[in-house]
Structure 1
């Protein structure tokens, strides 16, 4: 990595979660012109906040335009990950359509995704409840359409069609799968992945009932140290087998192709009845908690990307000289 410049463009919250506050003074600052801060061989970014806020905030919109203009003007700068690829995961309608394709491509690996419904407006609720049985939505989990921000973690577990009247579109209804209160978070860094076990929602009897809707915050429930009545299992529940390493590798390979991304997370569970690996969510540039090799793996991936870029450049030009790089310290992350 000698002589290569890597810029990080992250929110204050993301920077703190990755323990990068010590480098705040050397960061990319989107509020300032980017050209004097470069050049960059690679920019590692998570501009989720800016993209979402740009929908209704002119200042965020201008920051995004400035960043996109810089990237367009510097095509040799590698962006991890590309903005269009990352943006699609901000919309659960889009990401769940991607997930649904896994049924066909990974069927032989016993990997699936739960049935789901897109609820675009309140009018959908006038017809969809009568169709939920055809989607096996016996106990749907309601999730916001926007898969970013604190509200995206606010979910509800719905036990009767009558309770669907209380949801707030646009949202997704995803069939709840009993999984022994264990969530497997798969963290992807290039061609490497790490699987970390977390607590999750306990099992519930199948089929509609008169139980009241359960509201919960998925982030709080699945924290490593989480202890909640929602995660307390019946003592007679047998232990489930861990996810197959071969199945996880196949899942990551397929998603890297479909997403066109290198830094993402996948939430998977094991169906207690079929032991099928079930994908329930995809996350943009997650926190990588529990992955001690995060930075070494990230640097290894960056090195691999730059080596491939240099090799492709040599083949295209036929020149023995490698692309010019600049020295100096790597740029560190910034708040936006």
Structure 2
């Protein structure tokens, strides 16, 4: 059997966090060659590739304003289009969509209808555009049923600024909003976050610390600014995660409900490598999805290497059994849309 070549296109930070060298050694023991792709060089001189695994978030976001990143992205897309036999994991349009919280929150807002039997939902949210003024924000909050406290997140779901968030407790705090961003009703969840990591048809649920409970309803408390990495990483130790009073722990998410959520998101996203952050409402015990993440870090998933290799092999096996592809590349390999103009609901659904 010929050696399969897997190209990896990752930022240096992602490469280190994933420990790509160790993964390459693991793959080599299973007849798979891992090749690191250098975007500063033509891909045609680095291939051929049976599959390309990538996280081009940096390039996609920077291409909005940087001509060099635009050229890099265009060259990458041209290579993939010219080599339809090369599988792209994951599709660029799907990844681009999740870099926009307006788009990913629209996806989550539809979960309740399709997963009603599992009592899965997402909190009400509001898109705040650059031209939004305070009176219109207050009116929209009432119209769309959001309640204080609110959590505020940047629109772009990538980069260090995307982890800078705030908790807003009343109308006066809305002056701290910096568009474009998303306001989402905060749901008390016992300071426990469940990160669901998806690798193809497998998924893993890892428990993490999270924000403590806050009373429902508006108050005059000052806005709290925080970095999500400081409250939800395994080693996090923040006063924001310490419960004011100890209560019996919440039941963990139902494994069947989590599996149903993953199936639904895989179908809607058309992706294999992603994560979804879920919490359990302290009042209703409802499983609540609050964020979707592109190719996350998979910290706490000991089976990640074997799961990723297994998925890569299964994708290539299916491709081989299906025979050669036609000359036209599939939709997943077409050019990705931009972030700047926003996405319509029609662009969000698959």
The reply to whether TM is greater than 0.5 is yes
In structure 2, relative to structure 1, the CA distance for the partners of 1:4 and 1:173 (3 Å cut) is: same
Tell me, yes or no, if the aligned pair for 2:128 and 2:182 is still in contact at 8 Å. yes
| Structure 2 residue 279 is matched with structure 1 residue 240 | no
1:291 and 2:298 correspond:
no
**Is the counterpart of residue 254 in structure 1 residue 284 in structure 2?**
no
Task: List per-residue Cα deviations over 1:242-273 (Å, max 9, x = no partner).
Answer: 01000000000000000000000000000000
Matched, 1:87 2:96: yes
- Counterpart selection for 1:203 from 206, 213, 221: 213
Change (3 A) 1:36 1:106: same
Can you list the C-alpha shifts for 1:43-94, whole angstroms capped at 9, x where unaligned? 0000000000111111111100000000000011000001001100000000
Kept in 2, the 8 Å contact 1:132–1:138? The answer is no
State whether structure 2 residue 3 is matched by structure 1 residue 3: yes
Q: Which residue does the alignment assign to 1:322?
A: none
Change (3 A) 1:310 1:234: same
Aligned residues: 316
Contact in 2 for aligned 1:190/1:263 (Cα 8 Å)? yes
Q: CA deviation at 1:165?
A: 1.5
Asked if structure 1 preserves the Cα contact closer than 8 Å seen for 2:128 and 2:180, the reply is yes
Which whole-Å CA distance do the structure 1 matches of 2:11 and 2:324 have between them? 36
Matched, 1:61 2:61: no
Q: Which residue is equivalent to 2:172?
A: 162
Change (3 A) 1:124 1:75: farther
Instruction: Give unmatched runs, 5+ long, in structure 1.
Output: 317-336
Asked whether the equivalents of residues 187 and 288 of structure 1 are also in contact (C-alpha less than 8 Å), the reply is yes
CA shift, 1:237, in A, is: 1.8
After TM superposition, give the deviation of residue 101 of structure 1 in Å: 1.0
Moved more, 120-129 or 231-240: 120-129
Partner of 1:101: 110
Aligned to 1:326: none
Query: Deviations for 1:218-253, whole angstroms, at most 9, x for unmatched residues?
Result: 112111111111000134322000010000000000
Q: Any gaps of 5 or more consecutive residues in structure 2?
A: 26-33, 327-350
TM-score, reference length from structure 2: 0.87
Q: Comparing both chains, which one has the higher relative contact order based on Cα–Cα distances under 8 Å and sequence gaps of 6 or more?
A: 1
Secondary structure at 1:138's aligned position in 2? Answer: coil
Deviation at 1:190, TM superposition (A): 0.1
Q: Does 1:220 align with 2:221?
A: no
